[in-house]
Amino acid sequence: MEQLSWGRHYVMVEPAHFRVEYVINPFMDPADQPDPELAMAQWRELVATIERCGGTVDALPQRADAPDMVYAMNLGLGLVAEDGTPQVVMSHMRYPQRRMETESAQPWFAERGFATSYVGRDGVGAHLEAGDAFAFGDALVVGYGPRTEELALKHLASDLGIRVRGLRITHPGMYHLDLAFCPLDERRALVCPAALDEASAAALLDLVPEPLVLTEEEALTTFCANSIVIGNVVIMPACPDRVRAQLEEWGFEVVILDLSEFHKGGGSVRCLTNPVDVRIGRDLPSVPGGEVVLPPV
């Protein structure tokens, strides 16, 4: 097993003001509110688990007017430039209910030495949500459709000088790629083809040498693709027996955490954690001028 070299440094948002205030995904129901004390306890256990597994967590405070800010994965795409400078491409959210999150996150990152940039802002450019983007293989793999716009892929490739492989998301319940795709190591990943159109599903399965294919039901009812990996430990909100058996056969240790309060807002382990240690030139090969690769139409 050639372990992922990234995924050991995370940014998270403490859920002091987490609630379901509006509906922007199929899981949200304002009549079914999370329990604040239980949500905080679940979040703290996730932080403690990451730290026990050898990871580090930096937490920023949640804005009172940003109930979804706890889903820190979507604050921005964290990278380390070839010269060692940490940087974040800030998200430009599809829904205006979440756009104020970057107003607090951008200065927080800047104060800690991150260079920050945008591919779109205030309706200019293109929508980008970082929960759609993963380093894997020779490229940044980016889902587009429900949240991230196809145009954002061109910006990411040219601005960062990398290859971007686009995948069209068509499933309304898997509106971010992080609900359908989870890199496990350099050759393996959890993949739910039902999230994508036929050409994109085929392209993703071709890209992953050893995919662990999830059914639509497994991805939607257990959030099991919305997981993170630290070394050989997979931190998951649930794990069907079939999936656990394969992971353990490959040498992974599965750690299950109850994050049910956050499922009420449509996210789980990955949505709550934003890795900021992906390195351009190591985890993402440099491509002069950038390149976008899309599945055939």
Catalytic residues: 176, 271
The token pair that represents 157 in the structure block:
């490739």
Nearest to 218 by CA among 182, 265, 165: 182
Q: Cβ of 30: how many Cβ atoms within 10 Å?
A: 11
Distance separating alpha carbons of residues 21 and 236, to the nearest angstrom: 26
Residue from 147, 223, 150 nearest 190 by CA:
223
Calpha distance 132→119 (Å, rounded): 14
How far lies 60's CA from each of 10, 49, 166, in Å?
Answer: 11, 18, 30
Which residues, including other chains, have CB under 8 Å from residue 79's CB and lie 6 or more apart?
86, 87, 88, 89, 160, 276, 278, 279, 280, 284
Residue recorded with tokens 């372990």? 3
